[in-house]
Amino acid sequence: MSGQPKKIAILGGGVGAMTAAFELTSTPERRAAYDVTVYQMGWRLGGKGASGRRMDDGARIEEHGLHVWSGFYDNAIKQMKDCLAELKDANEEAVYHSFEEAFIAHNNIVLGEDEQGGWSFWPLDVETNPATPGSDGVALSAWDYFLELSRYIRDLLAKGPGTLSQSRHPTAVLPKHVATHVAAQTNVDPEHPAAKVPELLHHLAHQLPRQPHKHSGKDLEALRTMTRALHTDVKTARAKAVGGGEALSADKERMQLVLDLGVTAMRGMITDEVALYGFDGIDDREISEWLTMHGARPETVNSPLVRAVYDYAFGFRNGITDPAHRGIGAGTFLHGSLRLFFTYKGSIFFKMRAGMGDTIFTPYYKALRNRGVKFKFFHKVRDLKLDGAGRLIDEIVVDQQATLKNADYDPFVRAANYDCWPSEPLYDQLEEGDALKSQKVRLESSWSDWAPVATHTLKRGTDFDEVVLGISLGALPHVAGDLIAADPAWRKMVERVETVATQAMQLWLKPTSEELGWDHGDRILTAYADAMNTWADMTHLDAAEEWPATDKPGSIAYFCGPLPDVDPLPPFTDTGFPARADADVRENALKWMNDHGPELWPNVFKQDGSGFDESKLISLQTPASGKMWDTQYFRANFEPTERYVLSVPGSTDARLRADRSGFDNLWLAGDWTYTGINAGCVEAAAMSGLRAAAGLTRSPVDIIGEVANPVPGHGHHGSAPDVPMAPVLKTIRPQNSAWPWSSVYGMAQTTGATVMVPFARQTVAAMLPKGLQLAPQTLTGPQEHPVILLFARQRDVRPNQLPFGMNYSEFICAVPWVQHTDPALQDLPPLIVPTRLYLDSLPPILLGIYGYGFPKVRAAMTVDMDTYVIRDPKTDEEIISCSFDRTGPQDAAYKFEMFNQARPGYEMAMVTRNRVGQWQYSVYDFSLGQSLLEPLDMQIRISSDHLGLPRGTIKPPSIAASPFGAVFLTSDATINNPLQSYHLRQVLREKAT
C-alpha cells in the first residue's frame, strides 16, 4: 500500500474491538498502512469484560460478573499469548508477560442438584490433557463430534457395565439386512456372543467416510437403528431397576443422566442429519424441546447437566429463569457443549490471576499504544450516518464526555505491582473532575443527564476511512438507526438476536471456604438456586489485591446470574434507575443468601436463625447504613452495552458476519456476529475481531474452529468436507442434443451482472408456481434458499440458422433447486424455475411466453454501463435496480472457486408451465466452461412486491469470499428448441437414474 495510511476508527473497547486492533497492527507493514484510533466512552477498556479497582477498599477487584476462560478459546488465547510475549520483549513493566503468569488452570466443577430434601452437590473433576492452549487442531465438523460422542459413550459403558445390565444382543435389535451391512463395513460379527450395540455403533461410525454426504442409505439406516436401540436399552435399564424396587445410588443415577443425554444427542444428530446439514440446521428449535422430541427423559432435560449450560450462557429470555423462558437454540447448545467438553486444551477452564481488565485489557492497551494506536477515552458514540447512496458510513457523531487537562489520559492505578483500571475515572486528570465526582456521574451509563462538553462529527475521508464497530448489540438500536432502517438484514438481526440483563455479587469474607462450611474445595458451582445460580471461589485474587494484614480475606466469592428485565424499561431521562437497579440487586441478593446460602455455607449464618452473619464480611469502608452487607459489590447490568447476547432459537442465521456488514467501509467486531460459536463469550468476540480485520485488510484469515467462508445458517463451523449439491446434472447443451433437436436452437450473447442471493425459505417457496416445491440443497442453511438475479443485455438473439438477431435488455429472477410435487415426476433431478422475467422488447416476450411458457413481462428499463433500473411501464414505479463497480480482473468462470459452488444452480434444466397448462422443460446454457466473469462491488435495491422478495437493499459480498458474490457475466448462450420439451424430460429422467 502506498501514499497516506488509511484512517481506521474503532468504536468500542471490548474483546472484539481489541482483537481487531491487534490484528490490524500485527506487522510493521500494517502499522504503516493503517492509522488506528479507538473511541471509548468513559475511562476504561473492556466492554462487558471491564473491571475496576476500588483503591480505598483493599484495591479490591470489581467486575461486571464472573469471568473465566474456557480451554477451547483457541483464538483468544493465541492472540493473548502473542500480546504478552510482545510486552515481555519490550521489557514493559507492571504487566503480565506470559499466559502462565496471567492464568491458572481450573478443572474442578460442581453441579447443584435440587432434590426434595434440599440441595446436593455433584462434583466433576475434569481431566487435564497435554494439548497446548491456543494451538491449532480442533474437531470441527458435526460428524467429528458424533465420533467423539460415540467413543465417549462406549468408554463410559465399558467403565460401568452395570448401567446397561438389561441391554439386548445386537441380533435382537438389528434386522438381518442391517446386521449384514454392519458386518461388511466393520469386519465385526454382530452375531458373536460378545457383540454389543455400543461397540458396533462405534466401529461403524469410525469406518464410515468423514464426508457425511458419502454415507449411503444403508449406513444411515444402520446408524438410526443402533442409536435408537441403544437409547431404548439405556431407558429400559433404569426403568426396570426402579420398577424392581432398586434404590439407585447417586452415582448410578448420575450415570443414567449422562447416558440418556449423550445417547439422545447421538440419536437426534442422526435423525436430523446434523452431520450433513450442520448444527445450524436444528437451531430453529429450543434445546429442551429438541431433547424431548428425541426421547430424553424429563429428568434429563431438567438435570444439572442441562441447566448448567443454561446458567453458563445466561440462557433465559427476559432473564426469567423458568422452563418457559429457556432460550438456547438446539444447534448452538449442542455444538457449544461438545466444543467445550471435547476440544479444550490443557484445562477445561482458566481463571485469571487478577481482574479481567488487569489481565486482558491492560496488556492490550500497552501493546497497542506501543504500536502507535491512539485512544480517545471519554468519547461516546452517539450516531452513525450513511452517505446519500446508503452504502458507506459517512459520519460518526461522538459526544466528548470530559476535557483532559493534559494531551493524553493516563488510565492506570498501581495495585500489587500491576497497572490496573480504577473503578472510577481519575478525576484529577479531568477539567470537570470535581463536578463528575461530586455528582457521582456514571459516564458508562445511558441513564445520565451529564451533558457532553463537546460533540464531534467525524467525517469520512478526513477523520476516518474505515470503521470497525465494536459496540455491543444491545446499543445498536441507539447508535445505528440509519443502518437498521436502510438494510433489512440489520433489522432482522436486531429483532431476532436477543440480549439479557445480568447481575453480579462479590463478597470478601473473613472465614476460608472450608470454615464457611463448604466441603468441596476450590470449585466453580453452577446449576444452583436461581437467580444467583453460579458461584466461583476466587480466593486466589487476594494476591492481586492490597488488604491490610489485619483485614485479609479468608475467601473471596463471586456470584452471578440472569436479571429479569424491567418492563417497561425506564427512559434514559430517569437518571436514578441505575442506582435503584443496583440497590435491588443488593437487597434481593441478601434475600437469596438467606434462602439458599445455608446449604452452601452453613457456618456463616446466625444460630438464632436471623440470617447471614454480616460480621464475617470484610471491607475498609464504614457503611452509612450500618450494614456490612452494603459494603460488598453488587451490580445490575441493564446498560445497552452490558447486556449479554443470547443464542435464542431461530437467531443464528440472522447474525451478520464480521466482514459482511452490508456497508462498504464498515466491519463488525463482537460476539453478536456470526462465528464458529454464535454464543456470548470471549472466543466468539475474538473470532469476530479476527474476521473483521481480515475483511478490512482484504487478507485471508485462519480462524481456529471456523471454516474459511462460513455461511449463516449453513452450520459447518469447521473444516467440514465439501458437500455437493446432489443430485445435480451437467447441463444438456442444445447443440449437442440428438437430431433433429440439434439442428435448430436459439443462441445469443448474454452479458450482465448476476448474483445468487439467499432469502428466507418460506419467502422463496411462496414464489413457486403451483406444482413445484423447493428441493434439498446445501449451499445455504435449511432456513434459506438461493435465488438467482441476472441483470442482462441480450445481443444477437436468434435461431442458429439465421445470420443476425434481436437486441434487448432483460432481468431474470429464477429459483434453482426445485422439484415437482407430483410423485410421478420426482425422479427428475433438481430444476430451476424462472419466476419473473422483465424485458424492454415485445417480440422476445411473445416468443418466450408462447414458445417456452416463460413468465415474461414488459418493463421500462434504464440500462447503462454500471446501472440497471427496472420500472413498471404503466405506473413508473421502480421494481428493482442495481448499480455496480467492476473490481476485476476478468477471468475464466471456472477459475472462480466460490462461483463454482453456485455454478450448478445456473446449469439446471428449466421448468415452466406453458400456455396450455403443461410442464415445459428447456435448457438455457450459459456455456460456463468458456464464459468470462469479472468480480463486482454491487448493490441491489428491491422497491416493489412484484418479485415476491422482501423490499430493501442488498449488498452482496465479494465473490472471492462467498458463492453469493456478484459477478459480471460474458457468455455465448444457447437455448433448446421449444418443441424439445418431452424429449428433454426423458433425457433428464434417464440421466437422473
| pLDDT tens readout for residues 567-613 | 999 999 999 999 999 999 999 999 999 999 999 999 999 999 999 99
HEC-encoded secondary structure of 276-290: HHCHHHHCCCEHHHH
Q: Are 562 and 503 in contact (CB under 8 A)?
A: yes
Provide mean pLDDT across the span 417-442. 98
Give the residue carrying C-alpha cell 476535557: 403
Predicted confidence (pLDDT) per residue in 122-178, tens digit: 999 999 999 999 998 776 789 999 999 999 999 998 887 666 666 799 999 999 999
* Predicted local distance difference test score (pLDDT) of residue 530: 96
Distance CA 927, CA 930 (A): 6
385-413 pLDDT tens trace:
999 988 899 999 999 999 999 999 999 99
**Cα–Cα distance for residue pair 935/948, rounded to 1 Å:** 27
- Using pLDDT thresholds of 50, 70 and 90, give the confidence band for residue 1: very low
Rounded to whole angstroms, how far apart are CA atoms 81 and 98? 6
Task: Categorize the per-residue pLDDT at 991 as very low, low, confident or very high, splitting at 50, 70 and 90.
Answer: low
Which amino acid type is present at position 6? K
**What confidence score (pLDDT) does residue 715 get?**
53
Left if phi > 0, otherwise alpha if psi is -120 to 50, otherwise beta: which for 735?
alpha
In this predicted structure, what is the pLDDT of residue 720?
A: 39
- Computed over every residue of the chain, the mean pLDDT equals 92
- Residue whose grid cell is 457456618: 603
User: 843 pLDDT exceeds 70?
Assistant: yes
**pLDDT surpassing 50 at residue 719:** no
For the entire predicted model, the pTM comes to: 0.78
Query: Please, which residues bridge with residue 365 across strands?
Result: none
- The helix, strand and coil proportions of the chain, stated in percent and rounded to the nearest 5, come to 35, 25, 40
Per the omega criterion (within 30 degrees of 0), is the bond before 834 cis? Answer: no
The pLDDT score that the predictor gives to residue 138 is: 78
- Give the mean pLDDT of 645-671: 95
Strand partners, 537: 557
The residue behind cell 427428475 is 828
What would the mean pLDDT of 55-75 be, rounded to a whole number?
Answer: 97
pLDDT reported for residue 495: 94
Kindly report the length of the chain: 993
Pairing of strands 413-415, 418-420: antiparallel
Phi, psi torsion values for 455, nearest 5 degrees: -125, 125
**For residue 981, what pLDDT is reported?**
78
Give the SS3 label for residue 718. Answer: coil
Tens-digit pLDDT profile for residues 924-958? 888 887 789 999 999 999 999 999 999 999 999 99
- Cβ neighbours of residue 95 under 8 Å, at least 6 residues apart? 84, 87, 362, 363, 366, 418, 419
- Position 759 scores a pLDDT of 94
The three state secondary structure string of 29-75 is HHHHHEEEEEEECCCCCCHHHCEEEECCCCCEEEECCCCCEECCCHH
Rounded mean pLDDT of 886-893?
A: 89
Is the pLDDT at 992 greater than 80, yes or no? Answer: no
Q: How does pLDDT run across 90-138, given as a tens digit for each residue?
A: 999 999 999 999 999 999 999 999 988 899 999 999 999 999 999 987 7
Give pLDDT, residue 300.
Answer: 97
pLDDT for res 742:
54
Rounded to whole angstroms, the Cα distance separating 542 from 96 reads: 17
How do residues 800-821 score in pLDDT, each as one tens digit?
767 778 899 999 999 999 999 9
Q: Collapsing DSSP states into helix, strand and coil, what is residue 654?
A: helix
CB 805 within 8 A of CB 748: yes
pLDDT band at 961 (very low <50, low <70, confident <90, very high): confident
Quick one: pLDDT at residue 973? 84
331 pLDDT tier (thresholds 50, 70, 90) = very high
Q: How many CB atoms lie within 10 A of CB 139?
A: 18
For residue 718, the model assigns a pLDDT of 40
CB count, 10 Å around CB of 842? Answer: 11
Confidence of residue 972 (pLDDT cuts 50, 70, 90): confident
pLDDT: which is higher, 44 or 735: 44
**Could you tell me which of 897, 728, 925 has the C-alpha nearest to residue 816?**
728
Predicted confidence at residue 561, as pLDDT, reads: 98
Which range scores top for mean pLDDT: 93-107, 246-260, 265-279?
Answer: 93-107
pLDDT tens digits, one per residue of 236-245: 888 887 777 7
Contact of 409 with 43, CB cutoff 8 Å:
yes
pLDDT in tens, 371-380: 999 999 999 9
Three cell numbers, residue 845: 416476450
CA-based R_g, the chain, Å:
31
State the Cα–Cα distance between residues 204 and 198, nearest whole angstrom. 10
Q: Closest Cα partner for 397 from 331, 287, 479?
A: 479
Local structure of residue 751 (DSSP, 8 states):
E
Strand order in 34-40's β-sheet? 374-377, 34-40, 6-11, 466-469, 666-668
C-alpha cell recorded at residue 619: 471491607
Say if residue 624 is exposed, middle or buried (CB neighbours under 10 Å; 0-12, 13-18, 19+). exposed
Apex 127 CA angle, 123 and 130, nearest 5: 160
Q: pLDDT at residue 736 above 80? A: no
Q: What is the pLDDT of residue 926?
A: 84
| Res. 183: pLDDT tops 90 | yes
Whether residue 205 has pLDDT greater than 80: yes
Is the pLDDT assigned to residue 207 strictly greater than 70?
Answer: yes
Round to whole Å and give the CA distance between 118 and 595. 12
At 743-773, the pLDDT tens digits run 567 888 899 999 999 999 999 999 999 999 9
User: Which of 859, 739, 853 shows the shortest CA–CA distance to 808?
Assistant: 859
Listed range (76-85, 162-171, 323-332, 631-640) with the worst mean pLDDT: 162-171
The b/e string for 83-103 (b: 16+ C-beta within 10 A; e otherwise) is bbebbeeeebebbbbebeebb
Is residue 730 scored above 70 in pLDDT? no
SS3 183: helix
Greater confidence (211 vs 533) lies with: 533
For the segment 433-445, the average pLDDT, to the nearest whole number, is 98
pLDDT in the model for residue 727: 33
Q: What percentage of the chain has pLDDT greater than the value 90? A: 75
